[in-house]
Amino acid sequence: MTRKPRGRDERSPLSSLALHATLVVATTIALFPVVWVLLASLKPQDAIQSTEIHLFDHPTLENYRRVLFETSFPHWFLNSVVVAIFTMVIGISMSATAGYALSRFNFPGKRGVMWLFLITQMFPVAILIVPIYTIMANLGLIDTKASLVIAYCSVAVPFCTWMLRGYFDTIPPELDDAAALDGLGPFKTFWYVVLPLARPGLAVTAFYTFLTAWGEVAYAIAFILSDKNLTLGAGLQQFVPRFNPQWDLLTAGAVLIMLPASLVFYFAQKHLVAGLTAGGTKG
């Protein structure tokens, strides 16, 4: 009996099994917490803390109703949306323009700027909170959404600038030359030629900046004092004080937090297409 020769792209059954087993384990590890929170959010309060574990136990939407109508959750949600969207818009505008400048122009201090952006990434939030808090206090911005937007931008902009600069570097500079001859100044070149081609890079940075602001807890707890100005990350903490945590509210809130993030990701991934610059140049 002769075995059918394997094609170059075919795996042996054993390696196929090992591969799929690994993937299944990894997927389970990734999904388990999310699924568990989702299932818990549908259980009544006593069932969540019960020592007997059931996947479903009197499924109900009661937790969601209470979170939405009996707590400040909607308020926090709105605050988070405002903060995240402002962080996203301001962060992207700043990092895209800075990234373009770093990619295309030579100016004194260019290397210094890039190093600075890299180095600021190396400080952990715990160290930065105190000095930034002092700055915000001096600016009179404590307990405002603006303080959070500024703090989040300081985290997101350097990283996004590096990332977008890398993306702009892949767009052939001849296109800038062609645009210059077609009558565009530097800013219009950026707007009409470079940005449309950088859509995948912009989508990723948009998602990143959004996430930076959306689930953030440390800055939010430090800068925001009043309940009405809290964002989601900070607000949800109130559901789990040291004693008597309200897991029912927390899990329902956690599920609701995931929705906008998924929505933003859904729109962002549509733009994650390869080969946008294909065909423009050859060589």
CA distances 31 to 23, 25, 44, Å, are: 12, 10, 22
Pick between residue 125 and residue 276 the one whose CB is nearest to other proteins: 276
Contact residues for 124 (Cβ-Cβ < 8 A; gap 6+): none
Pick between residue 136 and residue 204 the one whose CB is nearest to other proteins: 204
Least distance from other proteins to the Cβ atom of residue 210, Å: 24
Least distance from other proteins to the Cβ atom of residue 185, Å: 7
Pick between residue 94 and residue 195 the one whose CB is nearest to other proteins: 195
Least distance from other proteins to the Cβ atom of residue 204, Å: 18
Q: Report DSSP letters for 88-123, one per residue.
A: HHHHHHHHHHHHHHHHH---TTHHHHHHHHHHHTTS
CA-CA-CA-CA dihedral for 199, 200, 204, 207, to nearest 10 = 50
Closest CA to 224 of 148, 149, 151, 152: 148
Tokens linked to 83: 């903060």
Pick between residue 6 and residue 282 the one whose CB is nearest to other proteins: 282
Q: For the chain, how many residues are written?
A: 283
Pick between residue 179 and residue 222 the one whose CB is nearest to other proteins: 179
Least distance from other proteins to the Cβ atom of residue 171, Å: 9
Least distance from other proteins to the Cβ atom of residue 35, Å: 40
Contact residues for other proteins, defined by CB under 8 A: 172, 174-175, 177-185, 188, 192-193, 196-197, 275-283
